[in-house]
Every structure is written in C-alpha cells, then in structure tokens.
Amino acid sequence: MSQLPLTELEVVYDALAEAINQVGTEQESLFLTKLVLLLANQVGNQAQVEQAIHTALLDLQ
C-alpha cells in the first residue's frame, strides 16, 4: 500500500481540518461519509476499505 510522504500528509491534515470547520457540526457527518465513499471508490479495493473502517473504530475513547 502506498503511503503519503509527511509533507503531503500535513497538507491533507490541514485541508481536512479546515473543511470540517467550514461545514459546521450539523453537516459534519454527512461530509465525512461522502468523503469516505469518494476515497473508497478511488482505492478500488473492498478489503482495504474494510480494514480502514476497522482500524478507525479502534481506540475511540
């Protein structure tokens, strides 16, 4: 699996934070769900997406 170089990860980090601020709490979940569907389609691999869902469920507390 390809990985983002740190500089690019930092840009994505900022862009996502700003987008979440921009949409506001009410639309936040919808926005994030759309984002996941778009990225899932780009990944093009069911197992990788399911693994990412599983990983994101860890350590939420």
Partner 1 sequence: MYIPDNTPRHSVYYDYQIYPFRTPPELNGEAKRYPVVIVGAGPIGLVTALELASYGTPVVVISAEVQVSHGSRAIVFTRRSMEILQQVGIAERMLEKAYPWRSGNSIYRGQRVFRLEAPYDEDDRFQPLNNLQQQYVEQYLVEQAQQNPLIELRWGSKVIGVTSLLDHAEVQIDTPEGEYSLSCDWLIAADGAKSTIRQELGLRMEGASYSGRFVIADIKIDIPWPTERLAYFDPDWNRGNTILMHRQPEGIWRLDYQLPPNETPEQALAPESLHTRIQAQLDMVGISAPWELDWCSVYSARAMTLPDYVHERIIFTGDAAHMLPIFGVRGANTGFQDAQNLAWKLAMLLKGVGTPELLATYSSERVIAAREIIAEASKSTRFMTPPDRGYRLLRDAVLSLSLTQAFVRPLFHWRTSRPHDYHETPLNALNDDNGQFTAGSAQGMPLQNIRLAANDYLFDHLGAAFHLLYFTNQTVPESLLQQVAELEQQGIPLKILTIGKGQALADSDGHFAKRYDAQTGTAYLIRPDQHVCARWKNLTAEQLKAAIYRALGQGAK
- Which chain residues interact with partner 1 by CB under 8 A? 29-30, 33-34, 37-38, 41
Q: How far is the CB of 46 from partner 1 (least distance, A)?
A: 14
Q: How far is the CB of 10 from partner 1 (least distance, A)?
A: 27
Q: How far is the CB of 6 from partner 1 (least distance, A)?
A: 30
Torsion of CA 42, 36, 49, 4, to 10 degrees: 70
Which of 7, 25 has the CB closer to partner 1?
25
How far from chain centre, in Å, is Cα 57?
13
Helices 6-43/46-57 angle, 10° precision = 120
